[in-house]
Structures are given as C-alpha cells and as structure tokens.
C-alpha cells in the first residue's frame, strides 16, 4: 500500500512512521508513506498557501490552487482509492474504517491548517472526510499519523502473528481483556489463577467474559 500525505509542516511527519511496526511494514515493502510539502506546489510569492476568508472573520483559509496543483501532479502517476481530508467536522474514525482502508492500494491524505481548506477543494477532490475525535488539533498531521498507524498495522502480512490483530479491542465490537506477564506475584498482587492453569478452554472462556464485562462497564455503546 502507498499512502501519500499533503502537508504544510512535513517535518511533523518524519518520525512517526520510522519505528516499530510501521518501520517493519516499510522494510517488508508492504507500506510506503510519502509526505508532500504543499509549499512546493504554490505559485504565490513567499510560498504562500493560505489567505483571508471571504466574508471576513478570524483565521486564514488554505487556498484551492496549491492543493489542486499538488493533487494533480500526484494523480498523474497514482490513482487513489480514497482522498481523505482530516478535519474535526468529518466522520469519526474507528476500527471498522481502519480495517476497510487497510485493504486499499493507494490513499491520499490532506492535512488542513488554520480555519481549514477552501470548500471547493472538498467538493471536487475529497472522497472521505475524517475526524479522529471531538476535539480540535492545530493541524491534520497528527490525525493523519493516527490513521496511518491504525491502518498500517492491519495491512495483511504486517503483524508477525496474524491473529494478534484479531484480539485487539474493537475488533469484535468488544474491548480486549486484561493481560498479565511475569512475575506471577508482585507486592502481593497475583495474576488470576485461571491464567496459570494451562486449561486453554477455560482461559478462553475467562477472556471472553472479561471482555464482555469491560465493554459493558466502559463502552456499552459498542456492544452489538
Ligand atoms: N484537524 C484538526 N482537528 C482534527 C481532528 N479532531 N480530527 C482530524 N483532523 C483534525
């Protein structure tokens, strides 16, 4: 999969994909992430990419022309399955969306700044508008990094143990159960006996029960 990201602060996106699972995905040739500097696509003086909002009001708006120059130069060589604009007024990102995107070939993400991007670009080029939650970030970059991480780890072949994504929280509309590792006892706090019993059937039943209980307590809204 290839993910291209258009940004006015490309430096923000240098480190997030260079470690851990996403690095492994890249090293295996399963994920390629390219960050495109929007300022390389403006014809305005001093690399300007934003301007005052028509109608007045506080805050700048990202101009349509540099965005169109950037996307059209990318589209000359790539057909995108989705053009995603990260914005607090988009649909809220979730694991189901991550699963769907992980099966695509080419994604383009657009990071907004200031008061957002000219509506005409949204109307004519963007295919999905996505928010990562009900709060406002100073730009779309961190949101794009969240999407790339959530999607990248689900690309078939990226995780070592293919089953480990299947036991993630949200994968079956359930939160994951509690987990423990050595030592068996620390400051008198013991690992539940059942996990040390070696009885895989009982352990599995315990995990399902714990998942259900956690989900009922914490996220009744996601239960089927
Ligand atoms: N840009 C600013 N805030 C955002 C959010 N919550 N989600 C996605 N993009 C954003």
What is this structure's pTM? 0.95
Cβ of 133 closer than 6 Å to ligand 1, yes or no, is: yes
Instruction: State residue 162's pLDDT score.
Output: 61
Instruction: State residue 42's pLDDT score.
Output: 96
Domain residue spans of the chain: 2-152, 167-223
Which tokens in the block code for residue 184?
């068996």
| 144, 9 Cβ separation under 8 angstroms | no
Instruction: State residue 163's pLDDT score.
Output: 65
Instruction: State residue 4's pLDDT score.
Output: 98
139 secondary structure, DSSP code: B
Averaged over successive runs of 10 residues, the pLDDT of the chain (224 residues) comes to 98 94 95 98 96 96 98 98 98 97 98 94 98 97 98 93 81 94 98 98 98 98 90
Instruction: State residue 171's pLDDT score.
Output: 85
Give me the torsion for CA of 71, 77, 79, 85, rounded to 10°. -20
Residue nearest to atom 6 of ligand 1 (CA): 88
Instruction: State residue 161's pLDDT score.
Output: 74
Residue nearest to atom 5 of ligand 1 (CA): 88
180 CB-side CA count, 13 A: 15
Helix (H), strand (E) at residue 120: helix 119-124
Q: How far, in Å, are 104, 144, 167 from residue 148 at the CA level?
A: 12, 6, 20
Instruction: State residue 12's pLDDT score.
Output: 97
CATH topology of domain 2-152: Alpha/beta knot (3.40.1280)
Ligand 1 atom index nearest CA of 133: 6
Instruction: State residue 184's pLDDT score.
Output: 98
Q: How far is the CA of 58 from the centre of ligand 1 (A)?
A: 19
* Cα–Cα distance for residue pair 162/196, rounded to 1 Å: 24
Q: 167-223 — its CATH code?
A: 1.10.1270.20
Residues 6+ positions from 41 with CB-CB distance below 8 Å: 66, 67, 69, 70, 73
Q: How far is the CA of 61 from the centre of ligand 1 (A)?
A: 15
């Amino acid at each position: 999969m290839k993910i291209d990201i258009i940004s006015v602060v490309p430096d923000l996106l240098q480190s997030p994909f260079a470690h851990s699972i996403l690095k492994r995905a890249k090293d295996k040739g399963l994920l390629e992430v390219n960050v495109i500097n929007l300022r390389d696509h403006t014809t305005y003086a001093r690399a300007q990419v934003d301007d005052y909002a028509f109608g007045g009001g506080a805050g700048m708006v990202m101009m349509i022309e540099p965005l169109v120059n950037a996307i059209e130069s990318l589209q000359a060589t790539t057909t995108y399955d989705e053009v995603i604009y990260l914005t607090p007024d988009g649909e809220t990102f979730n694991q189901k969306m991550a699963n769907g995107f992980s099966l695509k070939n080419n994604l383009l993400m657009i990071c907004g700044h200031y008061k957002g991007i000219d509506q005409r670009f949204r109307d004519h080029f963007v295919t999905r508008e996505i928010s990562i939650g009900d709060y406002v970030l100073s730009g779309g970059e961190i949101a794009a990094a969240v999407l790339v991480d959530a999607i990248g780890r689900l690309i078939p072949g990226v995780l070592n143990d293919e089953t480990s994504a299947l036991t993630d929280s949200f994968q079956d509309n359930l939160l994951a159960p509690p987990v423990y590792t050595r030592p068996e006892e620390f400051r008198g706090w013991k690992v539940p006996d059942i996990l040390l019993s070696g009885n895989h059937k009982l352990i599995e039943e315990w995990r399902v029960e714990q998942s259900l209980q956690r989900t009922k307590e914490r996220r009744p809204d996601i239960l089927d």
